[in-house]
Amino acid sequence: MLACSEDSATGPGPSDAGSIDSGSDAANPGKDAGKDAATSGLPAGSACSFNDDCSPELRCEEKTLTCQPGVRGTGKNGIDACTTGDTCESALCVEGPTNGSFVCSGHCFDDKDCGNQLPRCLSVPQIGTFCARAATP
């Protein structure tokens, strides 16, 4: 998964989303697919994982993982290819089903919310739930 950073000095960079163990996100319940859609969002400078964590006029900046002014991406969950989270509607770009491919991801409640390219709904502490590629053997 591209955890909103391409620079290895500021974050882990791409990793194998297929190898992340799912678990609950009790430490960050506000950063989950169950987030209240009526919430106005966080102010500029607040920590974020997804664009919808932020106020509508802000986006989750990939390099800083904070809400910042800027245009949100339009890439759709499980459909559109990406090179950075900034191109995705959700701000999350993860490894796709084929080697070297990356696909926009987004919130999910369970596997049924995810498409063929990213068929698993994972829950990752400090991030929340999102669609990921199938597990690799």
Residue 121 has pLDDT above 90, yes or no: yes
Count the domains in the chain: 1
Name the residue range of residue 104's domain.
1-37+77-137
Give the span between the Cα atoms of 9 and 14, in whole angstroms: 13
More confident residue, 5 or 54: 54
Whether 90 is covered by a domain: the verdict is yes
Query: Region 73-85: what's the mean pLDDT?
Result: 94
DSSP tag of 69 = E
- Tens-digit pLDDT profile for residues 91-120: 999 999 998 999 999 999 999 999 899 999
Short-list 112, 93, 110, 90, CA closest to 17: 93
Q: What is the pLDDT of residues 34-66, one digit of tens each?
A: 344 445 899 999 999 999 999 999 999 988 999
- Position 88 in a domain: yes
Q: Residue 4: is its pLDDT beyond 80?
A: no
Which residue type sits at 27? A
Q: Is residue 52 included in any domain, yes or no? A: no
On the question of pLDDT at 19 being above 90, the answer is no
| 57 located within any domain | no
User: Is residue 51 in a domain?
Assistant: no
The rounded percent of the chain whose pLDDT value lies above 90 is 62
Asked if 58 and 70 touch (Cβ cutoff 8 Å), the reply is yes
pLDDT at position 39: 57
In a domain, 15, yes or no: yes
Instruction: Tell me if 16 is assigned to some domain.
Output: yes
